Every structure is written in C-alpha cells, then in structure tokens.
Amino acid sequence: MRKGFSLIEMLVVSAVLAAVSVGAIASFSSIIKAQRYALRAQHLLDQGGYSIDYIGNALRMAKRETGVADCINYGKNYEYHPKGIKFISFDGTFKCRKFYLSSGVLIDYEEGRTPEEIPLTSSDVEITDFGVIIEDNVGIQPLVYLILKMKPSDFDSPLLEFSTVISQRDLNVPLE
C-alpha cells in the first residue's frame, strides 16, 4: 500500500476547491451588490415619503390670503412659485412659505425662520422633478397635486416617482 497522494490527485483537488471558491465569492459579491441596491432603494423611499408627507402637512395648514401677508394674491390659498408652490402658513402667525426645486434639492422656505431655506432631502438624493398642479376654484375645496421624482446622486438606480393629492384640513373657502 502506498501512503499519501499523488501530484495529480493534489492538482485535481486544488482545481475543484478553486472552482468552488470562485463560485462562492462571485455569489457572495452579487448578494452584496443586491443588498446595496435594496438599501439605496429603501433610502430613496424614506426620503421621498418623508418629503411628500412633510409638504402635505404644511399645505394642509395653508390659509387663504385676506390681506394679512404679502405672499400670494388676495383670495387665493396657493400659488405657483418657479419650480414649486407658495402659500400662507398659519402656525399662530401668518408667514409666507414656499416649497421649490433648486439644483436637484427640494427646498423648504419660510419667511422669518433662521435659516429661511432648509433642504428637505439629504445630499445623496437628487430630485429630478417637482411638479405641482393647483385646483383652487372658488366655491370648492382647493386641491394640490404633487409629483416628486428622485434618484440617488451617486449611484446608478432607477428613478422613483411619488405623487399625492392634498386638501386643506381647516377649510376657509365656502362650499356651495
């Protein structure tokens, strides 16, 4: 009987182990890549959901212009602002408030606040579109349609789109 392994047997075992190792490493690498993609998508969902909810809450508190602020036209609840929307916010005082898109960042502007402009999304998110449609007809409840399109600024990922319809909580436009 011989003791030990021949050189051929050792080479065959080494080749099989190398092939199994390469397959395991490639599989592990693709799992890590898929996990990064899923985490980035979740981050975008969190940022988009927060932004839409934050804007929606602020828009629900909008008040009709009755001459107390120089922000929007008399009798209006909302008006278009370049790349966004402006309105009078009521939090005990009447303040001009705007949400708009500036260089891929969604901005929350509030008159008299320090600082007046605050970004709503983190720097690793790029807002590609912020659409606003206002239905502020006299005699009916004003509605605002928001569309928010975003993607990661440093990662190749599909574009995510959020949309919602917002109506005021405390109506100050008479219903007919």
Q: Which residues contact 25 (CB under 8 A, 6 or more apart)?
A: none
CA distances from 113 to 38, 40, 53 (A): 37, 32, 20
Residue 55 domain flag:
yes
- CA dist., res. 123 & res. 152, Å (int): 9
State how far the Cα of 173 lies from the Cα of 136, in Å rounded to an integer: 9
**Global pTM?**
0.78
Largest CA distance in the chain: 106
**Which domain does 40 fall in, by range?**
34-167
In order along its 176 residues, the chain shows pLDDT tens digits of 677 788 888 888 899 888 888 888 888 889 998 898 888 888 889 999 999 999 999 998 888 877 766 788 888 888 998 899 999 887 767 788 999 999 999 999 998 888 999 999 988 899 999 999 998 775 667 889 999 999 888 766 668 899 999 887 655 544 44
Give how many domains the chain has, as a whole number. 1
Question: Does residue 146 form part of some domain?
Answer: yes
